[in-house]
Structure 1
């Protein structure tokens, strides 16, 4: 199969591309840098340096690749700027979907998130509505997610992967990155807020598996939604940081997500079914 990976050198993309190549697919991947092109070429893929905010250039790249499937792994989190990430969900997705349509591509697989659901007390399922009443920074995030998912669904054969909070190589949740730094500087408090995690390798595995999945939206999260008071001390030990102070309470939307649909309907099972053991991979 010919596959076009947008965001091929990001946290998920850099693990996804080798898996696709190992399965015998022909992969074209986008990147924002010449170094990224070199890295993709070294892996055996075709690397293209392209600006997703340049619709003409992106359309030309997709047409040249002539893919059977487009995999959308675009993010803009390197500078911890959530507004930039919302923009890429809105504008980058718009340009990518238009480019795919122009090239005659029918199937698209897209990265979304599993913490944009409306408030509730139990982990959210896929039928739960997005938190469209949210305001402020969360409202910006949710509106970006809504735009991404609505645009992707314009293509007839679409799969939307609502990933849990990613940890592992290339993510914020690893030794020496953003969350580790917050733990070390006292900027994190462990509360009752519930999170659903996902090891980044399981995110890549799900994107490969989704090549064969039916149209739909799926929560791709581990098996154990957990309050910060439970997971934060385990994360701290894994990265060698001090345990954070403890607090109480949670925002109503901090509820986690349920992966029953993917497990039962798709037979998808994470290699790291719980952060309890998955965080152990962060020790190195």
Structure 2
């Protein structure tokens, strides 16, 4: 299968590309960075240097590649550029979907998030509606996700991967990441808010399997949604950081975690079934 990976040099892209190549797929990697293009070429990927906002350029690249499937893993989260990330989800996805349709691609796999659900009791399944009535600043994130998922729904086939909080190399939760720095400085309190995590390698494995999955949304999270009062002390200990302050009375209504049963039923089996093992063994 011929596959375009948009965001080929990102956290998920770097983990996903070796899996795709090992499975025998022909991979075209979209990147804005010349240095990353050379790295992709060395791995056996055909690199295309491209700005996702250059609509004509996106159409030309897709027209030339003629992919069977497009995997959209573009974000601007590594630099914590939230407005840019929302723009990618809206404008970048629009360009990618329109160009994919013109080029004859049948399927698109996109990176979404598992904490965009409406408030409620207990972890959310994929049939839970998005939190479209959220107030600002959360509304900006939800509107971006809604635009991304709605655009992808125009493809003949589409898989929406709603990832949990990513940890592993290159993420905010990596030992050199933004959250790790905050935890070391005791700037993050352990609250009652519930989160779901997933290791970046497990997220990439889900993207590979999604090539064979039916259209729809899938929560890609580990098996143990947990309150901050549970996971944050374990995370801090894995980093060798001081124990965090505890604020068990604090939690946002939407901090509920997500259920992963649908992905498990379709053959996904995360290496790190719980953040308990993942934090201790993947962050060391």
> TM-score range, shorter-chain basis?
over 0.9
Q: Contact 2:78–2:172 (CA<8 Å) still a contact in 1?
A: no
| Residues 165-204 of structure 1 mapped to structure 2, 5 A cutoff | 165-204=165-204
CA distance in 2, matches of 1:111, 1:283: 23
1:4–1:27 contact (8 Å) kept in structure 2: yes
Tell me how far 1:263 sits from its aligned partner: 1.6
2:209 match = 209
Asked if 1:82 is matched to 2:107, the reply is no
Residue of structure 2 in register with 1:262 after alignment:
263
- Please give the residue correspondences for 1:235-254 in structure 2 after superposition, counting only pairs within 5 Å: 235-248=235-248, 249-254=250-255
- SS class of match (2:236): helix
Q: Matched residues in 1 for 2:29 and 2:131: separation?
A: 32
1:267, distance to aligned residue in structure 2 (A): 2.5
Partner of 1:93: 93
Q: Distance in 1 between matches of 2:63 and 2:18?
A: 23
Q: Judge conservation of contact 1:195–1:256 (CA < 8 Å) in 2.
A: yes
How far does the alpha carbon of each residue in 1:76-97 deviate from its partner, in whole angstroms, 9 at most, with x for none?
1122121111111001100000
Is 1:118 aligned with 2:118? Answer: yes
CA contact (8 A) 2:161 2:219 kept: yes
Please tell me whether residue 226 in structure 1 is matched to residue 226 in structure 2: yes
Q: Which ranges of structure 2 fall in alignment gaps of 5 or more residues?
A: none
Alpha carbons 2:118, 2:131 under 8 Å: kept:
yes
Aligned to 1:118, what secondary structure does the other structure show?
coil
Mapped to 1, the partners of 2:31 and 2:255 lie a distance apart of: 33
Work out the CA distance in 2 between the residues paired with 1:13 and 1:267.
Answer: 21
- How many Å separate the matches in 1 of 2:103 and 2:267? 32
Which consecutive aligned stretches of 4+ in structure 1 deviate over 4 angstroms post-superposition? none
Give distance in 2, aligned partners of 1:220 and 1:267: 12
**Distance in 2 (alpha carbons) for counterparts of 1:102 and 1:121:** 42
**RMSD of aligned Cα (Å):** 0.9
Structure 2 equivalent of residue 43 of structure 1: 43
Contact 1:168 1:281 in 2 (8 A): no
Secondary structure of the equivalent of 1:3? strand
Pick closer, same or farther for the CA change 1:228–1:89 going to 2, 3 Å: same
Q: Which runs of 5+ in 1 are unaligned?
A: none
Give the distance between the partners of 1:43 and 1:50, measured in 2 at CA. 19
Q: Which residue of 2 aligns with 1:161?
A: 161
For 2:56 and 2:18, locate their aligned partners in 1 and report how far apart those are by CA, in whole Å.
28
Structure 1 residue 60: Cα displacement: 0.9
Residues 183-209 of structure 1 show CA distances to partners (whole Å, capped at 9, x for unaligned) of 122221110010000000011000000
TM-score (norm 1): 0.98
CA distance in 1, matches of 2:157, 2:244: 44
Aligned to 1:170, the other structure's residue is in SS state: coil
Counterpart CA distance in 1 for 2:226 and 2:205 is 23
Confirm or deny: 8 A CA contact 1:174 1:239 kept in the other structure.
Answer: no
SS in 2 for 1:12: helix
The TM-score normalised by the length of structure 2 is 0.98
**Residues of 2 paired with 1:137 and 1:39: CA distance?**
37
CA contact (8 A) 1:238 1:282 kept: no
